[in-house]
Amino acid sequence: MGGANAVYGFINIVEKLLKSIKPAGLAVVWDGGLSGERLAILPGYKAQRPEMPEGLRGQLDGIVEYLGAAGYCSLCRDGVEADDYIASLARQAERAGMAVVIASADKDFMQLVTPAIGLVNPGDKSGAVWTREQVRAKAGVEPEQIVDWLSLMGDAVDNIPGVPGVGPKTAADLLGQFGAVTVMLERLAEVKSERLRANLAENAAVIRRNIEMVRLREDLVCDVAPGECGMREPAREKLLELYGRLGFKGKLAALAAAGAETQQDLI
C-alpha cells in the first residue's frame, strides 16, 4: 500500500460503519478552514494544533476519489468548519423526519443528540450509537446542557480556556444545581465553595465567550439537502482501478468477487 495507509484506513472505517449502521445515505464533511467568527472572538482558537503531516495531506485526494467512485457525498465549503456544516445538515435532516447518526469522536457533537440524532465513535469497537442516556453517563448533564458544560471547563483540544479549577464533574455539579450558566451567574451567592464562587465571578466574561465558541452553528445553508445524500450506484470500474493503483489487493479481490457473483445472479 506504500503511501496510501490513510486511504486504506478510511475505507475500512466507512465499510465498518455501513455494516453496523446500515444507513440509507452517507455524507463525509471536510473542514473548509477555521471559523472567522470564532477567531474574531478568540484569536488563539485552535492555534496549538500542528499542521497536517505532508504524507497525510497527499492522501486526501485518494480519499475524495474513493468517495466519488463509491457513490457517497463529499462536502466542503471554504471558511466553514466541518462541525458546523455537520450540525446544520443533521438538524435539517431531523426537521425532515430523518434519523441521523454522526460518526465522530468529537465531544462537541453531544450537544446535538436528540431522539433523532445519535453519535457513534468510529474508534469504538462496539459500534454503539450514543443517545441521551450515554451523553448523560459520559458528561453528567443532558445534551441541552453540553454547551454550558463545555463553556465552564473549556476545551484544551480547541485551545479554549475554561474557569480555573472547574473540570467535568464540577461543571456537571454546577449545572445540576442551577440548570444553566445564565442562572448560575445570577445566583453565584448560592455556590458553597468560596474559592469556586470567586473563580466563577472573575471568569463570568470567559464563560459567556465560551458559549459562543463551543455552540455549533445549525443555521448554515448546505450545498445539498439531506435527502440528496442517499447511496448512489458505485462506479465499479473506477473502484477497481483505484484499488489496483493503490495496491489494495484484498479490496480489489473482494470487489472483483462481488462483481462475479452479481453477474452470475443476472445470468
Residue 244, pLDDT > 90, answer yes
C-alpha cell at 19: 455494516
The string of pLDDT tens digits covering residues 140-165 is 999 999 999 999 999 999 999 999 99
Q: Flag whether pLDDT at 1 surpasses 60.
A: no
Of 245, 212, 165, nearest in space to 36 by CA:
212
Instruction: Burial-class residue 11 by CB neighbours within 10 Å (0-12, 13-18, 19+).
Output: buried
Name the phi and psi angles at 76, rounded to 5: -160, 145
pLDDT (tens digit, 9 = 90+) per residue, 113-133?
Answer: 999 999 999 988 888 999 999
Q: Judge whether residue 263 has pLDDT over 50.
A: no
> Would you tell me how many other CB atoms lie within 10 Å of the CB of residue 221?
7
Domains of the chain by range and CATH? 2-130+217-255 (3.40.50.1010), 143-214 (1.10.150.20)
Q: What angle do CA 164, 165, 171 make, to 5 degrees?
A: 105
Please, which residues bridge with residue 130 across strands? Answer: 119
Averaged pLDDT, 4-27: 93
Whether the per-residue pLDDT at 267 is higher than 50: the answer is no
Query: What does the alpha-carbon distance between residue 226 and residue 138 come to, in Å, rounded to a whole number?
Result: 29
Mean pLDDT of 203-221: 97
**Cβ neighbours for 18, distance < 8 A, ≥ 6 positions apart:** 26
Residue 55 has what pLDDT? 81
